[in-house]
Amino acid sequence: MPAPASPFGLVIFDHDGVLVDSEIIAMDIICELLAEHGVPTTVDEAIVAYLGGSLDVVMDVIEERGTPVDRADFDRRFHEALFAGFRQRLVPIPGVVELLDALREAGIPFVIASSGSSARVDLGVTMTELAAYFPEHVRTTRDHVDRAKPFPDLFLLAAERAGVDPADCVVIEDSPHGVEAAHRAGMRVVGLAHRTPAERLSDADWIVHDTSAILPLILST
């Protein structure tokens, strides 16, 4: 039986919070580092301010409050703590393996575009056994562009590397920054409200609460 047709030539996955359940780990660490730099922040506040953005945004906020930041040291400490957390606690988002298998069966290609570093994404997909679905050449990260989300650069580069017109791409995102970036790239967006409150994804074209609802949207839209 032939695979069902899809209007999309490429599915672009964010990494953190869409493929791997890493956002809560990252927010815990960001709150600890912010407090050390005189910017006490709750996890809920961090989710609102930093979810889906790059670490540069966190350091910018600290400096705007008047505290100089050793950016290289801040980045090193964050990633050391994050990678330790990945090795201890990281799991895939529920249902994502089944979704990837279904996309493969339907013949729809998929890639990653993440505001995280390549090292972060590489470890994330390795620890959750998703690396077989995402070989290195389909992982576009913060290291490959000058500007992270909410700028469209990551998504545009991911589409270019895949040889697919941006208008034929659909993005799976869990953050307002990511939704904005995808729209600025001329792509449609599915907002995954797994940990992110659905109201924060209100600008997405569609909002789902679990991964099982994504494939029907991709196949029927």
Whole-number Å distance between alpha carbons of 212 and 147: 32
Minimal CA–CA distance to 185: which of 204, 200, 205, 165? Answer: 165
> What percent of the chain lies above the pLDDT cut of 90?
85
Tens-place pLDDT, residues 129-152: 999 999 999 999 999 999 989 999
Q: Is the pLDDT of residue 2 over 70?
A: no
Q: Which tens digit of pLDDT belongs to each residue from 67-105? A: 999 999 999 999 999 999 999 999 999 999 999 999 999
The mean pLDDT of 210-215, rounded to a whole number, is 96
- Tell me if the domain spanning 23-89 has CATH number 1.10.150.240: yes
Give per-residue pLDDT as tens, 177-187: 999 999 999 99
Nearest residue to 108 (alpha-carbon basis) of 18, 168, 34, 160 = 168
In this structure, what token pair is assigned to residue 163?
């040889």
Q: Place 54 in a pLDDT band, splitting at 50, 70 and 90.
A: confident
CATH number for the domain running over 10-21+91-220: 3.40.50.1000
The region that residue 183 occupies, defined by phi over 0 for left and psi between -120 and 50 for alpha, beta otherwise, is alpha
With the C-alpha atoms ordered 148, 84, 25, 102, is the resulting torsion angle positive or negative? Answer: positive
* Entry pTM: 0.87
CATH 1.10.150.240 domain extents, the chain? 23-89
Residue 18 pLDDT level (bands cut at 50, 70, 90): very high
Delimiting residues of CATH 3.40.50.1000 domain(s) in the chain = 10-21+91-220
3-state secondary structure the chain: CCCCCCCCCEEEECCECCCECCHHHHHHHHHHHHHHCCCCCCHHHHHHHHCCCCHHHHHHHHHHCCCCCCHHHHHHHHHHHHHHHHHHHCCECCCHHHHHHHHHHHCCCEEEECCCCHHHHHHHHHHCCCCCCCCHHHEECHHHCCCCCCCCHHHHHHHHHHCCCHHHEEEEECCHHHHHHHHHCCCEEEEECCCCCHHHHCCCCEEECCHHHHHHHHHHC
More confidently predicted of 200 and 4 = 200
